[in-house]
Amino acid sequence: MNHIDLNGKTILVTGAAGFIGANLVKRLFADIQSAKIIGIDSVNDYYDVRLKKYRLDELSKNDGFIFIKGNIADKELVNSIFEKYHPAVVVNLAAQAGVRYSITNPDAYIESNLIGFFNILEACRHYPVEHLVYASSSSVYGSNKKVPYSTEDKVDNPVSLYAATKKSNELMAHAYSKLYNIPSTGLRFFTVYGPAGRPDMAYFGFTNKLVNGETIKIFNFGNCKRDFTYVDDIVEGIVRVMQGVPEKKNGEDGLPIPPYAVYNIGNNQPENLLDFVRILSEELVRAGVLSEDYDFEAHKELVPMQPGDVPITYADTDALERDYGFKPSTSLRDGLRKFAEWYKEFYM
């Protein structure tokens, strides 16, 4: 793999108002000298827009940040950004997220995750970049029985349209890497959480419900395990991967071997949902979000599995450790403590 120096480079981050995108941009400004970062986001109302505005306000404190409100499914807009700024590195995090929402709103996934990603690939073809890094998802492993999930495993059994679009992104990137020698790396994220995260994620949704005295539903009667990964660990992984580019080389036939790679970024430590809810509730009490005498048992309901869900996610992160010397390490308690403290400050 080739190393690239990000200092002084123009970097395009799609989905910059999103949870991972905003944290990545903040980190890049902290780490990289004379960085010029272009952010694009449609700032849609899939969840509370106040959170996206809060993240953007934080980012706009940086002089080198240029924000464009728009949709990557708009091909003319994407091309005009590449034409004007010629980014050296592109990180594609814009996507319609969420497994359950994909069951009721499939159109949003085709537009953002397929057409949008296609537009990014086409732009990288016509305005060559040094590295395209893009978000895939642990959901591509679908109903695979073998754990931990390895990037060597076959991923042909998606159980949601969201998962199918993410698998499609990997296939499209592979084809473009092969045909046009575009160095690309896909990152399969595992259940990302943290302060100012996504309200549709369990830890955030549970907190909102408990604060409002509503009942939380724990799926598969609590027999689900998730590889919860703290957002700072995800960002650390992205920043390292951005700097390590799959090498361009030709095969025996004289044609390019695709400069293409895929990695898992997960905590490598699945947590049972019931333990997760217990730790979350302890941290919410500690932060003063909930009272010390809060009756959790009265607000918990164990229910069957949801369509599109899987019983376990568990990342094999050996390849990431081998190639980039990095393994996520934030404990669930530390991460949920930071979330609970942020929630208290933002909402109360």
Tell me the pLDDT tens digit for each residue of 121-179: 999 999 999 999 999 999 999 988 899 999 999 999 998 999 999 999 999 999 999 99
d(CA 317, CA 311): 19
Which pLDDT value is given to residue 44?
92
Which pLDDT value is given to residue 335?
97
Q: State mean pLDDT over 220-233.
A: 91
Task: Write the Ramachandran bin of 16: left for phi over 0, alpha for psi from -120 to 50, otherwise beta.
Answer: alpha
Q: Which residue carries 């050296």 as its tokens?
A: 88
Which pLDDT value is given to residue 60?
94
Does the active-site annotation cover 162? yes
Residue 13 scores a pLDDT above 80: yes
d(CA 317, CA 61): 35
Is the omega angle on the peptide bond into residue 258 within 30 degrees of 0, that is, cis?
Answer: no
pLDDT single digits (tens) 171-205: 999 999 999 999 999 999 999 999 999 998 989 99
Residue 285 scores a pLDDT above 90: yes
Tokens representing 260 are 């293409």
pLDDT single digits (tens) 79-138: 999 999 999 999 999 998 887 888 888 999 999 999 999 999 999 999 999 999 999 999
Residue 308 scores a pLDDT above 80: no
d(CA 248, CA 106): 36
Residue 309 scores a pLDDT above 80: no
d(CA 257, CA 134): 19
Selecting among 134, 141, 149, 162, the annotated active-site residue is 162
Q: What is the CA radius of gyration of the chain?
A: 20
Exposed (0-12), middle (13-18) or buried (19+): which is 22, by Cβ within 10 Å? buried
pLDDT, the chain, mean:
94
Which structural domains are found in the chain, ordered by start? 2-190+229-268+313-329 (3.40.50.720)
Distance of CA 112 to the CA centre of its chain: 14
* Dihedral angle sign, alpha carbons of residues 82, 118, 261, 330: positive
Q: Residue 53: CB partners within 8 Å, gap ≥ 6? A: 17, 43
